[in-house]
Structure 1
Amino acid sequence: MTDAIDLEPGARLISTRCSTQVIVVRAPRSPLQLTCGGDPMQLLDPTRSPTLDEAPAGPGGVVLGKRYVDEHSGLELLCTRAGSGPLSADGRDIGLKEPKPLPASD
C-alpha cells in the first residue's frame, strides 16, 4: 500500500482535502492508508498552519468531538476539527463509535 502510515496513540492527522483534523486514540494493529474525502491524510506539522477553510459537517461529514472506529484494524480516532469527510481506512468507511449504554439507576 503506497500511502500506509504507521500510527501511534496521540498522533495528529490533517486532511489534505478539507478542514478535518483527528487524533489517534487507539492505534491500528498494522500500518494503514487513512483517507478523508478520498485523499490521503497526513501527519500534522506543528510548524505549518493549515490554510483550509473550516467546513461544517453535513451528511457524511466528520463531526467535532465524535469518535470514529474501524473495527477491522482496531483504529479509533477523535475529531478535533470538523470537516466534510468522510473518513476511510484501507478503503473501508470508518463509522461513528456507538456510545456505551449507561446502567439503569433503579
Structure 2
Amino acid sequence: MDLKPGSRWKSAVCDAELVVVRAPKSPVSLECGGHPVIPHAEARSGDLTLSDAHAAGSAAGKRYSDPESGLEVLCSKAGQGSLSVDGRAIGAQEAKKLPSSD
C-alpha cells in the first residue's frame, strides 16, 4: 500500500473515502471498518462485511492521524467504518485553538 500525500483511498466495506495528507515514516496498512482500504478507482468486492469492533464511523472533513507512524488522512466522505493503522485505532484530531483577536 503506497500511501503518498494526495493519494485517494476508499473503504472496502462502507462509503468512507480518504485522502492522504501526510505519508507514514515507514510502510503501514491503513484500514477502515476492520479491512485494508482500496485505491479510489478500484471496485469494492462486496464479499466483506463491516467489523463490529471497527464500526464507530468516520466523519467527513475530519483529519485522522497516527502519531506512531506519522500518517495523517482527511476523510472526504463519511462512512460507518472507523479508521485504524496496522490494527491500532486512530481518532480524529482536535481543532487547534486560535489566539484571541481581542
Amino acid at match of 2:40: L
Task: Pick from 87, 92, 99 the counterpart of residue 88 of structure 2.
Answer: 92
Normalised to the residue count of structure 2, the TM-score between the two structures is: 0.83
Aligned-residue offset at 1:94: 1.1
Note the aligned Cα RMSD (angstroms): 1.9
Give the counterpart letter for 1:26 in structure 2.
R
Where does residue 65 of structure 2 map in the other structure? Answer: 69
Unaligned runs of 5+ in 1: 53-58
**CA positional deviation for 1:105:** 2.0
Letter in 2 for 1:101: K
The residue that corresponds to 1:56 in the other structure is none
Q: Cα deviations across residues 12-66 of structure 1 (Å, max 9, x unaligned)?
A: 0111110111000111111111111101111112xx66698xxxxxx82111111
The equivalent of 1:41 in structure 2 is: 37
Contact 1:6 1:30 in 2 (8 A): no
Is the Cα–Cα contact under 8 Å of residues 56 and 82 in structure 2 kept in the other structure? yes
* Contact 2:12–2:44 (Cα < 8 Å) also in 1: no
Output the amino acid matched with 2:56. Answer: G
What SS does structure 2 have at the residue aligned with 1:79? strand
Match of 1:10 among 6, 15, 20: 6
